């Protein structure tokens, strides 16, 4: 598979790079970012944290705003951030910010006009890691994390693929998308009206019935404007208690939905993942 390097910036002794490539699963050109810590410059292979961005975001938001590179360099962890959806002139879109481009919701769409490109679940779980592991000095030790829509994606992908991920974390995840406006709108469009199909992409539903556990850390700001209507962490907590799932759910007074919140606690998330990546 051919990839094209489109930018590179040295950071804390390592390199942040952006690449374009053609995705066969999404049937379009895609961009991703990777941070390679300084250990890779001397021949070491390192584990990978996959970061899934939220609504309207791309690979750039986390890499530019979260201040994660310093700790990733110390711990020897690569970070990979994909885009949030397929892109291109022939890719279906919607006028609203919460559907279409920038809002792939990390599912495999089954409904027209979305299904020809919106296969983000397969892209994140299989195609992108295969590309990363064939191209860069990384191991097959993986963790996954994300924010908001990306937190939803990280939690559901980890729980559906416990053999592929050592740990999972999320900031402000959409915890119960079957029962919130963002999720109902996206799932209706991408997956159709059969709500049984939705359950496989709902973190609370998956956690409630989980028998194979991936250690999970979730941080939620109590001043988040979306807390009550869209995020519903109480559903995730109830599900974890029902299945005895190893979830740490922390709520933080005064913090909102922004990258100021993420930057405040990203070090703790990276150290959390490092513990399991090294053990794995």
Catalytic residue positions? 148, 224, 257
* 233: Cβ contacts below 8 Å, ≥ 6 apart: 173, 175, 218, 220, 227, 249, 251
Residue closest to 108 by CA, chosen among 128, 124, 90: 124
DSSP 148: T
Strand partners, 28: 23
Q: Look-up: residue for tokens 């296969």?
A: 119
* 192: Cβ contacts below 8 Å, ≥ 6 apart: 110, 111
Cα–Cα distance, 202 to 100 (Å, whole number): 19
First to last CA, the chain: 28
* 18: Cβ contacts below 8 Å, ≥ 6 apart: 5, 6, 7, 8, 31, 32, 33, 59
Strand arrangement of the beta sheet that strand 168-171 belongs to: 3-11, 14-23, 28-36, 78-82, 46-52, 138-147, 168-171, 216-221, 247-252
Whether the CB-CB separation of 53 and 259 falls below 8 Å is answered with no
Pairing of strands 216-221, 247-252: parallel
């Amino acid at each position: 598979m051919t990839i094209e390097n489109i930018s590179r910036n040295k950071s804390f002794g390592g390199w942040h790079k952006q690449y374009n490539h053609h995705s066969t699963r999404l049937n379009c050109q895609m961009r991703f970012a990777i941070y390679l810590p300084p250990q890779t410059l001397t021949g070491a292979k390192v584990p990978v944290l996959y970061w899934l961005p939220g609504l309207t975001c791309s690979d750039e938001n986390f890499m530019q705003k979260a201040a994660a590179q310093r700790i990733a360099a110390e711990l020897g962890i690569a970070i990979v951030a994909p885009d949030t959806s397929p892109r291109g002139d022939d890719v279906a879109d919607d006028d609203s910010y919460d559907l279409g481009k920038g809002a792939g919701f990390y599912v495999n769409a089954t409904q027209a006009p979305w299904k020809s490109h919106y296969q983000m679940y397969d892209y994140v779980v299989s195609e992108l890691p295969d590309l990363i592991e064939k191209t860069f000095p990384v191991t097959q030790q993986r963790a996954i994390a994300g924010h908001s829509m990306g937190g939803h994606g990280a939690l559901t992908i980890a729980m559906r693929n416990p053999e592929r991920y050592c740990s999972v974390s999320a900031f402000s995840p959409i915890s119960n998308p079957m029962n919130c406006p963002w999720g109902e709108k996206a799932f209706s469009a991408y997956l159709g009206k059969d709500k049984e199909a939705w359950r496989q992409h709902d973190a609370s539903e998956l956690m409630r019935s989980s028998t194979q556990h991936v250690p999970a850390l979730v941080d939620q700001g109590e001043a988040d404007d979306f807390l009550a209507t869209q995020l519903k962490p109480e559903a995730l907590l109830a599900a974890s208690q029902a299945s005895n799932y190893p979830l740490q759910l922390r709520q933080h007074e005064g913090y909102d939905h922004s990258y100021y919140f993420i930057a405040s606690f990203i070090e703790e998330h990276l150290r959390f993942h490092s513990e399991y990546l090294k053990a794995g």
